[in-house]
């Protein structure tokens, strides 16, 4: 069987990235060389001028930080995706674009797949992006995927991927709140399934709020005051290298406190104080102390979640659950607060670090890879008839049409038939005639399921003739509608006050925040002065 659907889902995160594949039986999150399911989104050049990705680069940047390492390793490149900014790596003098750096991360994920499954098709992938990404940022992500060798890239919004991963496909007319707290960013979205349509109804976020800020609080409020009480180092905060190393201590402690009531930080290997004394310190920290530190940040996320619910116009009581995404959502205090204050059940049944990649992979099954990309990977073997299929791979209808063309049969007068059956054995279609290589059939789907269908081709005598592909997949449950816009969009209009004669510019709104794309609006305005087409001297600037 050849596969014509996307088999790979990737969460290209600001802090960590994950890759999941459809191995034929289930969705499998692929571990990297270090046996981790997540790979830090850090790229660097090591002392031997070799490109490194993931934990190795991450450790150079934090655990083993030196001045040299800080200018040769780059984290959080997602923040500058779609900008013209270049990142310079001192060791080689290379200047790489955000797309090129992201491509290195994607390549390393891809290699992990090929190490485990050497024959796996990496021609196409679903890559997730934040709901608030602009077209420019989204396009840059797509190009990055192409650079990494995925010829066909389909983008999917992170909250939708998370919802699919949590099983939203099977939800009937439900509303979920997707709470995604990552390493450096917070995103909250209200997703709704209504009459088979999946949409992000409202969303909010803070681009500078995440697990990293919790590490910083531990450093600034606990570690540094304790160091300074014992050692003579008034400027320790301003030293980037030391700060980087402290971040590593703080992060390890923070993660431990998600599963333990208290932990201990050994501050060492950060050099001497100003009197020449080696800085060495043991600090105890309890979960309660940590909770006090992050309280304010959690308050803010809850406020943004409440705003999102308000903006969506959906009643709190109609929100079925909160789904958790991102590493910091493993913090027990965060889960308690969400449940207590939003009064919505929190679903913490899945791993919040890999759920976006899983959801992207499941979504991929519904995405056909266009023929142009398939040719180089799958040769049609001798005797097989090449078939081109057309159908909606994601639908909320229970009956759907499938049409197909078999080029080889276009000029053949003999009778041929096709028959479509589903894998689960609940549906078997009638034999349909293939006329001049073309056929058209209506098939029935199993509700809220991934439906796999087999196609059989027969000649006039009833002999089976091999076809390629011999199967296809349709997901029944939801179709995904367009993205909501993250900000209101309008133009600046200059108006003259008839009384005072003064002009001032006001914002004329075309589309409100959270309207669903595509959108269209025509308005007519008059100019204050005469304009001539093509006149370069007398132009009309329009502020969008």
Q: Name the residues that contact ligand ADP, by CB under 6 A.
A: 13-16, 38, 182-185, 211-212, 251, 254-255, 258, 326-328, 330-331, 353
Closest CB to Mg ion among residues 102, 395: 102
245 binds, among Mg ion, ligand ADP, none (CB under 5 to 8 A by kind): none
327 binds, among ligand ADP, Mg ion, none (CB under 5 to 8 A by kind): ligand ADP
Residues 6+ apart with CB under 8 A from 227: 233, 236, 267, 279, 281
Taking CB under 5 A as the binding criterion, the range among 181-189, 246-254, 373-381, 412-420 that sits at the site for Mg ion is 181-189
CB of 166 to Mg ion, least distance (A): 14
Phi then psi for residue 395, to 5 deg, are: -150, 155
Residue whose Cβ sits closest to ligand ADP: 327
| CA atoms lying within 13 Å on the CB side of residue 428 | 2
Taking CB under 5 A as the binding criterion, the range among 180-188, 227-235, 270-278, 388-396 that sits at the site for Mg ion is 180-188
Closest CB to ligand ADP among residues 106, 418: 106
Phi then psi for residue 133, to 5 deg, are: -60, 140
* Nearest-angstrom CA–CA distance, 189 and 185: 13
Closest CB to ligand ADP among residues 43, 231: 43
251 binds, among ligand ADP, Mg ion, none (CB under 5 to 8 A by kind): ligand ADP
* x/- map, 1-30, Mg ion, by CB under 5 A: ------------x-----------------
On whether the CB atoms of residues 326 and 352 are closer than 8 A, the answer is yes
211 binds, among Mg ion, ligand ADP, none (CB under 5 to 8 A by kind): ligand ADP
183 binds, among Mg ion, ligand ADP, none (CB under 5 to 8 A by kind): ligand ADP
The number of beta carbons lying within 10 Å of the beta carbon of residue 171 is 20
Q: Alpha helices of 266-331 — where are they, by DSSP H? A: 287-312
The DSSP letter of residue 329 is G
- Report how far apart the first and last C-alpha atoms of the chain are (Å, whole number): 51
* Nearest-angstrom CA–CA distance, 152 and 144: 11
Q: Is 181 exposed, middle or buried (0-12, 13-18, 19+ CB in 10 A)?
A: buried
Paired tokens of 537: 């001297």
Closest CB to ligand ADP among residues 79, 513: 79
Closest CB to Mg ion among residues 182, 429: 182
Q: Is 182 in the site for Mg ion (CB under 5 A)?
A: yes
CB of 12 to Mg ion, least distance (A): 9
432 binds, among Mg ion, ligand ADP, none (CB under 5 to 8 A by kind): none
Q: Is 534 exposed, middle or buried (0-12, 13-18, 19+ CB in 10 A)?
A: exposed
């Amino acid at each position: 069987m050849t596969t014509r659907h996307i088999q790979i889902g990737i969460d290209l995160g600001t802090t960590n990235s994950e890759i999941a594949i459809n191995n034929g039986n289930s969705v499998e999150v692929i571990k990297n060389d270090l046996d981790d399911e997540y790979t830090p989104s850090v790229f660097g050049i090591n002392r031997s001028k070799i490109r490194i990705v993931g934990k190795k680069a991450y450790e150079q940047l934090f655990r083993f930080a030196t001045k040299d390492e800080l200018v040769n390793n780059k984290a959080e490149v997602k923040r500058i995706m779609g900008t013209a900014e270049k990142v310079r790596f001192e060791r080689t003098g290379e200047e790489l674009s955000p797309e090129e750096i992201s491509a290195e991360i994607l390549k390393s994920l891809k290699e992990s797949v090929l190490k485990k499954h050497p024959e796996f098709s990496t021609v196409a992938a679903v890559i997730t992006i934040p709901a608030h990404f602009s077209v420019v940022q989204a396009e840059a992500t797509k190009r990055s995927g192409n650079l990494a060798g995925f010829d066909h890239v389909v983008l999917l919004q992170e909250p939708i991927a998370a919802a699919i991963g949590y099983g939203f496909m099977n939800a009937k007319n439900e509303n979920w709140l997707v709470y995604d707290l990552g390493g450096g960013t917070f995103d909250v979205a209200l997703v709704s399934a209504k009459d088979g349509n999946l949409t992000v109804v409202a969303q909010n976020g803070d681009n500078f709020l995440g697990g990293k800020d919790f590490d910083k609080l531990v450093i600034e409020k606990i570690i540094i005051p304790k160091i300074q009480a014992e050692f003579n180092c008034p400027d320790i905060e301003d030293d980037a290298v030391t700060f980087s190393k402290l971040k590593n201590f703080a992060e390890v402690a923070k993660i431990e406190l998600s599963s333990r009531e208290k932990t201990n930080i050994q501050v060492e290997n950060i050099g001497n104080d100003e009197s020449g004394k080696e800085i060495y310190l043991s600090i105890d920290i309890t979960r309660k102390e940590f909770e006090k530190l992050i309280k304010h940040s959690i308050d803010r996320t809850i406020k943004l979640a409440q705003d999102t619910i308000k903006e969506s116009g959906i009643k709190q009581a109609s929100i079925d659950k909160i789904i958790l995404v991102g590493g910091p959502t493993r913090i027990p205090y965060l889960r308690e607060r969400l449940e207590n204050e939003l009064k919505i059940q929190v679903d913490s049944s899945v791993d919040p670090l890999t759920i976006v990649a899983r959801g992207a992979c499941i979504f991929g099954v519904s995405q056909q890879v266009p023929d142009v990309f398939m040719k180089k990977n799958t040769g049609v073997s001798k005797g097989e008839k090449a078939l081109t299929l057309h159908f909606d791979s994601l639908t909320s209808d229970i009956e759907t049409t499938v049409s197909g063309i078999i080029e080889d049969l276009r000029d053949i007068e003999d009778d041929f038939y096709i028959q479509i059956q589903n894998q689960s054995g609940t549906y078997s279609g009638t034999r349909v005639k293939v006329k001049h290589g073309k056929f058209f059939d209506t098939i029935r789907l199993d509700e809220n399921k991934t439906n796999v269908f087999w196609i059989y081709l027969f000649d006039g005598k009833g002999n089976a003739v091999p076809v390629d592909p011999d199967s296809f997949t349709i997901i029944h449950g939801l179709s995904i509608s367009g993205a909501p816009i993250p900000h209101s969009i309008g133009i600046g209009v200059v108006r003259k006050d008839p009384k005072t004669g003064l002009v001032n510019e006001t914002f004329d709104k075309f589309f409100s925040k959270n309207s669903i794309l595509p959108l269209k609006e025509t308005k007519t305005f008059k100019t204050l002065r005469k304009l001539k087409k093509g006149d370069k001297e007398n132009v009309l600037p329009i502020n969008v």
